[in-house]
Amino acid sequence: MFSWGTTRRFNDYSTYIRQKFGGRVQKISVNVGLSCPNRDGTKGRGGCIYCDNTTFTPAYCNAADSIAVQLQKGREFFAHKYPDMRYIAYFQSYTNTYAPVETLEPLYREAVANGIAGLIIGTRPDCITPDLQAMLERINQIVPVSIELGIETTNNQTLELINRHHTWQDTVAAAQLCAEHGIETGGHLILGLPGESENDFLEHARQVSALPLKTLKLHQLQIIAGTPLAEMWRQNPDFVRLFTLDEYLKTVVRFLEHLSPDIVVERFVSVSPADKLIAPRWNRMKNFEVVALIDKELELRDTWQGRLF
C-alpha cells in the first residue's frame, strides 16, 4: 500500500475521481467558442506550434450549440455505456477563462443548471485573475470546480520557442491564486518539446511538485498535420527528437520517480486521429494499453511515483 492508499505504483486518477464523487463520473467536453491571447493578436498569432484543437474535440462538441445542448448530446453519446453515469462539464477547447468575468459566469452557471456533478475549466496560466477566482469560489460552493492549467513546460526558453507567450512564473502565480481561493488545480505537461532533454523532464517533475497541484496530465509530443510544428519538422527532422514507445515508457517512469506522491496522475499519453497524426504513431496504441505498459515497467523496476521525490 502506497501513501495514496492503493497498491498501484502511481497515484491514479480513476481511483481519486471515484472517491471524490462517490461513484463513476464522465467528462463531457464543452466548446463555447473562446480564443487564446496567442491567437487573436493580444500576445501573438498562430497559437502554439503543435496545436490543433480538432484532434481532441469530440464530434458532439459544437460551439454553435448552447451549453445545454452540448451537455445533452454528450449524455446521449455516453448513455449506452454507462446508464447510471454522473457527468462533469469540461470547458476544454482553447482558453476558457479568456473573457470578462461578466461573460464567463453565465456560461459556467448554465452548465451548473444542467445537472452536472462538477466543472473543469481548461485555460492558460496568464488568464487567471483575482476577479475570476472570486467568481469561481462562488460557483465552487454549488458544485466542485477545477482549473486545468496548460503548463506544457517549466522552461521559459521552450515556452517562447513554442509560441506560448506566457512564462513559468505565470504558472506559479496562477496555481497559488487558485489555491488561495480553494479552487482545485490541475496541470498539463508535454514531454519531448524541441530542445528539451531528460534532465529537463526531471526538472519539470521537481518544479511542478512544488506547486499546489492536485492533478497532472502528461503526454508525448505529437506532430499533427497542418501545424507549424509539422512544417518545422519537415524542413528539419532534427528540430525535435520523437520518442519511441520504449523510450517514452522509461522517461515516464523516471519522471514519476521524481514527482510528488501527492499529485494525482490523470493521463500519460494523447492519442490523435490517424488522419491527422504524422508521428510518432506507435502502432496506434490506445491510452489504456500504454498505461498497462507503464504499470508493467514500474513493477519490473520495482519503483513507484515519488520514490526519488
Q: Give the E-state strand segments of the chain in sequence order.
A: 25-30, 86-91, 118-123, 145-152, 184-191, 215-220, 223-224, 264-267, 277-279
Instruction: Tally the residues of the chain.
Output: 309
pLDDT confidence bin for 214, thresholds 50/70/90: very high
Residue the block writes with cell 519538422 = 233
pLDDT, tens digit (0-9, with 9 covering 90-100), for 63-99: 889 999 999 999 988 888 777 889 999 999 899 999 9
Q: Within a 13 Å sphere around the CA of 140, how many CA atoms are in the beta-carbon half?
A: 18
Look at residue 250 and tell me if it is in a domain: yes
pLDDT, tens digit (0-9, with 9 covering 90-100), for 218-272: 999 999 999 999 999 999 999 998 999 999 999 999 999 999 999 999 999 998 8
120 and 148 in contact (C-beta within 8 Å)? yes
C-alpha cell at 199: 534532465
Look at residue 309 and tell me if it is in a domain: no
DSSP-assigned letters across all residues of 190-225: EET-TT--HHHHHHHHHHHHTS--SEEEEEE--EET
Look at residue 260 and tell me if it is in a domain: yes
pLDDT confidence bin for 306, thresholds 50/70/90: very high
41 CB neighbour count, 10 Å cutoff: 10
pLDDT confidence bin for 304, thresholds 50/70/90: very high
pLDDT confidence bin for 59, thresholds 50/70/90: confident
pLDDT, tens digit (0-9, with 9 covering 90-100), for 114-150: 999 999 999 999 999 999 999 999 999 999 999 999 9
Look at residue 125 and tell me if it is in a domain: yes
Look at residue 167 and tell me if it is in a domain: yes
Look at residue 5 and tell me if it is in a domain: no
Which residue segment(s) compose the domain that 122 sits in? 13-300
pLDDT at 285: 85
Amino acid letter at 100? P
pLDDT confidence bin for 286, thresholds 50/70/90: confident
Look at residue 101 and tell me if it is in a domain: yes
C-alpha cell at 42: 493580444
pLDDT at 11: 98
Domain count, the chain: 1
121 and 145 in contact (C-beta within 8 Å)? yes
| Percent over 70 (pLDDT), the chain | 99
Mean pLDDT of the residues in the chain = 94
- Indicate which CATH number applies to the domain containing 191: 3.20.20.70
Q: What are phi and psi of 97, to 5 degrees?
A: -120, 15
Given a cut of 90, whether residue 57 has pLDDT beyond it is no
Look at residue 307 and tell me if it is in a domain: no
Q: Cα 265–58–122 angle (5° rounding)?
A: 45
Tell me which range, 51-55, 82-86, 288-292, is most confidently predicted by mean pLDDT: 288-292
pLDDT at 210: 98
Given a cut of 90, whether residue 26 has pLDDT beyond it is yes
DSSP-assigned letters across all residues of 275-286: TTEEE--GGG--
Q: What is the largest CA-CA distance in the chain?
A: 53
239 and 67 in contact (C-beta within 8 Å)? no
Distance separating alpha carbons of residues 242 and 248, to the nearest angstrom: 9
pLDDT confidence bin for 56, thresholds 50/70/90: low
Q: Answer with the residue of higher pLDDT: 147 or 275.
A: 147
pLDDT at 52: 85
